[in-house]
Structure 1
Amino acid sequence: MTTTTDLSHRDRAVLRAVAAGRCTVSTIGVLAVDGLGCCDQFVGRRLAAAGLIAPGAGPAHLTASGRALIEAA
């Protein structure tokens, strides 16, 4: 499991944006925030692989682990 110390400031900001309902994931796994592609093209895949964002295209959703991490921060 990923801990808050393993996450960058950008990762935590993206998780907060996902929690706020501001993110979508494309069919190829690219994360968009407020309709714009994220400057870190791998953040969506990285957070999904860590089990913090639910996989799949469409609106991005936090997993229980992702929610727990941002609540602990």
Structure 2
Amino acid sequence: MTIAKELSGRAKAMLRAVAAGRGELSGGREPDLYVDGLPCCDQMVTHDLVRAGLLRARRAVGLDERSDAELTDAGRAAIA
């Protein structure tokens, strides 16, 4: 099964928001996603997307900082 088929509608929407330049990730081992400056409602999905290598921060940041989020090649393929 491909990753795209395993993703929920919410996960795909989160990836699309990041692809549109609307996402930021907090620093830390388990980053939180912010969309349009607001915390995303499902941080467990955020953690899963980061661990799966679909989503990452554009730059390294500290725990109290945020970085623009970006999709990896696999993340772009998952919503293509």
The TM-score normalised by the length of structure 1 is: 0.86
1:51/1:66 contact within 8 Å kept: yes
Q: Is the counterpart of residue 18 in structure 1 residue 18 in structure 2?
A: yes
In structure 2, how many angstroms separate the alpha carbons of the residues matched to 1:19 and 1:51?
14
Structure 2 counterparts to residues 1-73 of structure 1, below 5 A: 3-28=3-28, 29-55=31-57, 56-57=60-61, 58-71=67-80
Output the aligned Cα RMSD: 1.8
Runs of 4+, deviation exceeding 3 Å: none
CA offset at residue 61 of structure 1?
0.4
Structure 1 or 2, whichever has the larger Rg, is: 2
In structure 2, how many angstroms separate the alpha carbons of the residues matched to 1:45 and 1:13?
15
CA offset at residue 41 of structure 1?
1.7
Task: Structure 2 unaligned segments of length 5 or more: list them.
Answer: 62-66
In structure 2, how many angstroms separate the alpha carbons of the residues matched to 1:54 and 1:27?
10
Counting aligned pairs with the same residue, the percent is 51
